[in-house]
Chain A
Amino acid sequence: MGDVSDRIGRPTDNGQIGIIDPDCRLIGLHLYDGLFKVIPIDSKGQLKEAFNIRLEELQVLDIKFLYGCSKPTIAVLFQDNRDARHVKTYEVLLKEKDFADGPWVQNNLDNGAGLLIPVPLPLGGVIIIGEQTIVYYNGFVFKAISIQPAITRAYGRVDADGSRYLLSDLTGMLHLLVITHEKDRVTGLKVERLGETSAASTISYLDNAVVYVGSSYGDSQLIKLNLQPDSKGSYVEVLESFVNLGPIVDFCVVDLERQGQGQVVTCSGAFKDGTLRIVRNGIGINEQASAELPGIKGMWSLRASSKDVYDTFLVVTFISETRILAINAEDELEETEIEGFDSDAQTLFCQNVLHDQLIQVTASSLRLVDAISRRQLNEWRAPPGLSINVAAASSSQVLLATGGGHLVYIEIGQRELIEVKHVKLEYEISCLDINPVGEDPDRSYLAVVGMWTDITARIFSLPNLELLTKHSLGGEIIPRSVLFCTFEGIPYLLCALGDGHLFNFILDVNTGQLSDRKKVSLGTQPITLRTFRSKNATHVFAASDRPTVIYSSNRKLLYSNVNLKEVNYMCPFNSASFPDSLAIGKEGELTIGTIDDIQKLHIRTVPLNEHARRIAHQEATRTFAICSAKYIPTVEDMETHFVRLLDDQTFENIASFQLDAYENGCSIISCSFTDDNNVYYCVGTGYAIPEESEPNKGRILVFLVEDGKLQLVAEKETKGAVYNLNAFNGKLLAAINHKIHLYKWTLRDDGTRELQSECGHHGHILALFVQSRGDFIVMGDLMKSISLLIYKPEEGAIEECARDYNANWMSAVEILDDDIYLGAENSFNLFTVRKNSDAATDEERSKLEVVGEYHLGEFVNRFRHGSLVMRLPDSETSQIPTVIFGTVNGVIGVIASLPQEQYMFLHKLQQNLVKVIKGVGGLSHEQWRSFSNERKTVDAKNFLDGDLIESFLDLSRSRMEEISTAMSVPVEELCKRVEELTRLH
Chain B
Amino acid sequence: MWQMVGRRETGRLPPHKFRALLQKTRLYSIELAGHKEIASAHKSGVNSLQQIDATEARYLLSGAADGSVAVYDIEQATAYDHSTRTSKHEALFMVDKRVLNGHLYSVSCVHWYPIDTGIFVTGSFDNFVNVWDTNTTQVELQFNMSKKVYSLSMSTLATTHMLIATGTDDTRIRLCDIASGAFTHTLSGHRDSVWVVQWSTRSEWVLVSGGCDGAIRFWDIRRAGCYQILDQQCSQIGRRPPVLKKSSRTHGREDNLCTKYLNASSPIRQRGQKRSFGISAVDSRTAHYGSVAGLQMTADGLHMISAGTDSRLRLWDVESGCNTLVNYPSTYIRGNKGIQMAVTPDSSLVFTPSLNAILVYDVWSGHSYSSLRGHYDQVNCCAFHPQGQELYTGSNDRKILVWAPRRPIDIDNFDYEDAEQAIKADEDAWSD
**A contact residues vs B (CB 8 Å cutoff):** 6-11, 13-15, 32-35, 51-52, 54, 56, 58, 81-82, 91, 93, 96-101, 216-217, 246-247, 249, 270, 611, 613, 664, 666, 686, 688, 693-696, 719-721, 723, 736-739, 741, 757, 759-760, 762-763, 766, 768, 782-784, 805, 807, 809, 811, 826-828, 843, 846, 859, 861, 888-889, 934-935
A782 to B56, CA, bound (A): 19
**Interface: B398 (CB within 8 A):** no
- How far in angstroms is the closest Cβ of chain A from B361? 12
> Chain B 4-36, CB within 8 Å of chain A: the 1/0 string?
011011111011111110100100010000010
* Most A CB within 10 A of own CB, among B57, B346, B387, B408: B387
**Interface: B377 (CB within 8 A):** no
**Interface: B285 (CB within 8 A):** no
A8 to B302, CA, bound (A): 10
A56 to B345, CA, bound (A): 18
Contact indicator A811/B410 (Cβ below 8 Å): no
Q: A694 — which chain B residues lie within 8 A by C-beta?
A: 1, 408
Q: A270-B10, A693-B25 are in contact. List 13 more A-B contacts (CB 8 A).
A: A10-B347, A32-B300, A81-B365, A98-B240, A247-B9, A664-B6, A666-B2, A695-B2, A696-B408, A720-B410, A737-B410, A826-B15, A861-B9
A97 to B261, CA, bound (A): 12
Q: A100 — which chain B residues lie within 8 A by C-beta?
A: 240-243
A96 to B240, CA, bound (A): 12
Q: B147 — which chain A residues lie within 8 A by C-beta?
A: none
Contact indicator B10/A888 (Cβ below 8 Å): yes
- How far in angstroms is the closest Cβ of chain B from A37? 10
**Interface: B330 (CB within 8 A):** no
| Interface set, chain B 192-242, CB cutoff 8 A to A | 201-202, 237-238, 240-242
Known: A52-B263, A54-B320. A10 touches B11 (CB 8 A): no
**Interface: B251 (CB within 8 A):** no
- Nearest residue in A to B385 (C-beta to C-beta)? A807
- Nearest residue in A to B16 (C-beta to C-beta)? A11
- How far in angstroms is the closest Cβ of chain B from A824? 11
Q: Which of A8, A58, A738 contacts B408 (CB 8 A)?
A: A738
- How far in angstroms is the closest Cβ of chain A from B233? 19
A843 to B78, CA, bound (A): 11
Q: A784 — which chain B residues lie within 8 A by C-beta?
A: 388
Q: B317 — which chain A residues lie within 8 A by C-beta?
A: 54, 56
10 of the cross-chain contacts (CB-CB < 8 Å) are A6-B264, A10-B345, A13-B16, A33-B302, A58-B364, A96-B246, A270-B10, A695-B1, A783-B19, A811-B8
Known: A246-B11, A757-B413, A826-B19. A8 touches B300 (CB 8 A): yes
Q: Secondary structure at chain A's binding surface: helix, strand, loop or mixed?
A: loop
Q: A11 — which chain B residues lie within 8 A by C-beta?
A: 16
Q: B8 — which chain A residues lie within 8 A by C-beta?
A: 811, 859
Q: Which of B6, B22, B346, B414 contacts A10 (CB 8 A)?
A: B346
Q: B201 — which chain A residues lie within 8 A by C-beta?
A: 8
- Nearest residue in A to B11 (C-beta to C-beta)? A888
A935 to B387, CA, bound (A): 9
Q: Which of A58, A664, A807 contacts B388 (CB 8 A)?
A: A807
Q: How many A-B residue pairs have CB under 8 A?
A: 153
Contact indicator A693/B1 (Cβ below 8 Å): yes
> Chain B 49-90, CB within 8 Å of chain A: the 1/0 string?
000000011100000000000000001100000000100000
Q: B362 — which chain A residues lie within 8 A by C-beta?
A: 81
A11 to B346, CA, bound (A): 9
Contact indicator B412/A827 (Cβ below 8 Å): no
Q: B178 — which chain A residues lie within 8 A by C-beta?
A: none
Contact indicator A54/B410 (Cβ below 8 Å): no
Q: Which of A8, A13, A93, A96 contacts B20 (CB 8 A)?
A: A13
A56 to B303, CA, bound (A): 11
- How far in angstroms is the closest Cβ of chain B from A792? 15
**Interface: B136 (CB within 8 A):** no
- How far in angstroms is the closest Cβ of chain B from A641? 11
Q: Which of B15, B301, B320, B414 contacts A811 (CB 8 A)?
A: B15
A741 to B265, CA, bound (A): 53
**Interface: B407 (CB within 8 A):** yes
Q: Which of B29, B243, B264, B412 contacts A760 (CB 8 A)?
A: B412
**Interface: B415 (CB within 8 A):** yes
Q: Which of B15, B22, B246, B319 contacts A859 (CB 8 A)?
A: B15
**B contact residues vs A (CB 8 Å cutoff):** 1-3, 5-6, 8-12, 14-20, 22, 25, 29, 35, 56-58, 75-76, 85, 157, 201-202, 237-238, 240-243, 246, 260, 263-265, 299-302, 317, 319-320, 345-347, 362, 364-365, 387-388, 407-408, 410-415
Q: Which of A9, A696, A809, A861 contacts B19 (CB 8 A)?
A: A809
Contact indicator B35/A51 (Cβ below 8 Å): no
Q: A51 — which chain B residues lie within 8 A by C-beta?
A: 263, 265
Contact indicator B410/A719 (Cβ below 8 Å): yes
Q: A7 — which chain B residues lie within 8 A by C-beta?
A: 157
A33 to B345, CA, bound (A): 13
- How far in angstroms is the closest Cβ of chain A from B236? 12
Contact indicator B408/A888 (Cβ below 8 Å): no
A827 to B241, CA, bound (A): 40
A877 to B16, CA, bound (A): 38
A783 to B15, CA, bound (A): 12
Contact indicator B17/A14 (Cβ below 8 Å): yes
- How far in angstroms is the closest Cβ of chain A from B207? 16
A10 to B201, CA, bound (A): 12
A35 to B263, CA, bound (A): 11
Contact indicator A888/B387 (Cβ below 8 Å): no
- How far in angstroms is the closest Cβ of chain B from A862? 9
- How far in angstroms is the closest Cβ of chain B from A75? 16
A531 to B44, CA, bound (A): 90
Known: A97-B263, A757-B413. A54 touches B25 (CB 8 A): no
Q: B17 — which chain A residues lie within 8 A by C-beta?
A: 13-15
- How far in angstroms is the closest Cβ of chain B from A102? 10
- Nearest residue in A to B405 (C-beta to C-beta)? A765
A857 to B56, CA, bound (A): 25
Q: A757 — which chain B residues lie within 8 A by C-beta?
A: 412-414
Contact indicator A8/B10 (Cβ below 8 Å): no
A485 to B411, CA, bound (A): 74
- Nearest residue in B to A34 (C-beta to C-beta)? B302
Contact indicator A739/B76 (Cβ below 8 Å): no
A11 to B413, CA, bound (A): 45
Contact indicator A33/B300 (Cβ below 8 Å): yes
Contact indicator A719/B412 (Cβ below 8 Å): yes
A757 to B408, CA, bound (A): 19
Q: A721 — which chain B residues lie within 8 A by C-beta?
A: 1-2
- How far in angstroms is the closest Cβ of chain B from A734? 12
- How far in angstroms is the closest Cβ of chain B from A152? 14
Q: B157 — which chain A residues lie within 8 A by C-beta?
A: 7-8
- Nearest residue in B to A56 (C-beta to C-beta)? B238
Contact indicator A739/B410 (Cβ below 8 Å): yes
Contact indicator B11/A216 (Cβ below 8 Å): yes
- Nearest residue in A to B12 (C-beta to C-beta)? A270
- Nearest residue in B to A246 (C-beta to C-beta)? B11
- Nearest residue in B to A807 (C-beta to C-beta)? B387
Contact indicator A8/B301 (Cβ below 8 Å): yes
Known: A10-B300, A766-B1. A54 touches B408 (CB 8 A): no
- How far in angstroms is the closest Cβ of chain A from B150? 27
- How far in angstroms is the closest Cβ of chain A from B58? 7
Q: Which of B16, B240, B242 contacts A827 (CB 8 A)?
A: B16
- How far in angstroms is the closest Cβ of chain B from A578? 43
A52 to B299, CA, bound (A): 17
Contact indicator B10/A805 (Cβ below 8 Å): no
- How far in angstroms is the closest Cβ of chain B from A630? 14
Minimum-distance CB pairs A-B, first 3: A807-B387, A719-B410, A888-B11
A855 to B121, CA, bound (A): 36
- How far in angstroms is the closest Cβ of chain B from A212? 20
Q: Which of B57, B240, B414 contacts A101 (CB 8 A)?
A: B240
Contact indicator A249/B9 (Cβ below 8 Å): yes
- Nearest residue in A to B244 (C-beta to C-beta)? A100
Known: A737-B408, A739-B410, A889-B11. A768 touches B240 (CB 8 A): no
